[in-house]
Amino acid sequence: MSEWWQSDVIDEGRLPLMLLFGSFVLTFLITRGITRLIRAGHGPFRNVSHGGVHVHHAVPGIILLITGAAIAVAAQTYLWANVAAVMVGVGTSLVLDEFALILHLSDVYWDKEGRTSVAAVSLAAACLGFAVVGITPFSSADTGFEGVVRLTALGATVLHYGTVVLTVLKGKYRFALFGCFIPWFAWVGAVRLARPGSRWARHYSAARKEKAARRAARFDARWDPILDRISDFVAGHPTRPDPPPESGAG
């Protein structure tokens, strides 16, 4: 274990990234636990207010994120790089946990729209997790080959990210994001029909648009309930008006 820690973590310079990932996930779990206790009226926790204004936890999150980013830019030692990583991880988690509020400019923390925050946190955590284990979007281009092999690798990389762009145009954003790290997702997203309303679907014939709509409806009917149950388990079931609109829950 000590040899692995030294060779794969310390020597490879991955400790800051691991600290960022760990603090990001831990902060999200703690934050959701506290907000659920506040919502249920249990425990010593209460919403923070100042002058009658509810202070959402995105506010300290932004402060930590900005401070951590500044420290990371100015860091001259490994210690400060690790400190910055923790601050950025905590701050990013607090901000993304209220991503839906920022997106809608409304306190939708416990509304159905609030699930957007859980999706944002999940996608960010997945990307950080890929980076921690060494899977990066540009790893396919990072080869030690020369000549034709290097050009082949470059061509494969360009083709790969072409499928990622195509997947985005088809409105399959989660597939595109994961496709940056695992090419299979991008290839599947690029080959299958676009989602209705996407830029790519605008060029479909009426019959093809109808087929795309049916396929998207089947996909959503199959997977949305599963994703909703997972989201409810992690973040709590959305209700309204609990907590009351004027009080918030962050």
One-letter-per-residue 3-state SS of 68-107:
HHHHHHHCCCHHHHHHHHHHHHHHHHHHHCCHHHHHHCCC
- Interatomic CA distance for residues 118 and 247, integer angstroms: 21
Compute and round to an integer the Cα radius of gyration of the chain. 21
**pLDDT on residue 90:** 97
- Interatomic CA distance for residues 77 and 95, integer angstroms: 27
Query: By the 8 A CB rule, do 96 and 124 touch?
Result: yes
Percent of the chain past pLDDT 70, that is, above it, reads: 81
**pLDDT on residue 140:** 47
What integer best gives the mean pLDDT of the chain?
81
- Its sign, for the CA torsion 33, 174, 223, 201, is positive
SS3 30: helix
Q: What is the pLDDT of residues 107-159, one digit of tens each?
A: 888 887 888 888 888 888 888 888 887 665 555 444 444 555 556 666 777 77
Is pTM beyond 0.85 here? no
Task: State which of 56-60, 106-110, 137-141, 202-206 shows the largest mean pLDDT.
Answer: 56-60
Domain boundaries, the chain: 2-134+230-235
**pLDDT on residue 241:** 47
- Interatomic CA distance for residues 172 and 200, integer angstroms: 11
- pLDDT band for position 83 (cuts 50, 70, 90): very high
Segment 237-243 mean pLDDT: 58
Segment 190-214 mean pLDDT: 89
- pLDDT band for position 161 (cuts 50, 70, 90): confident
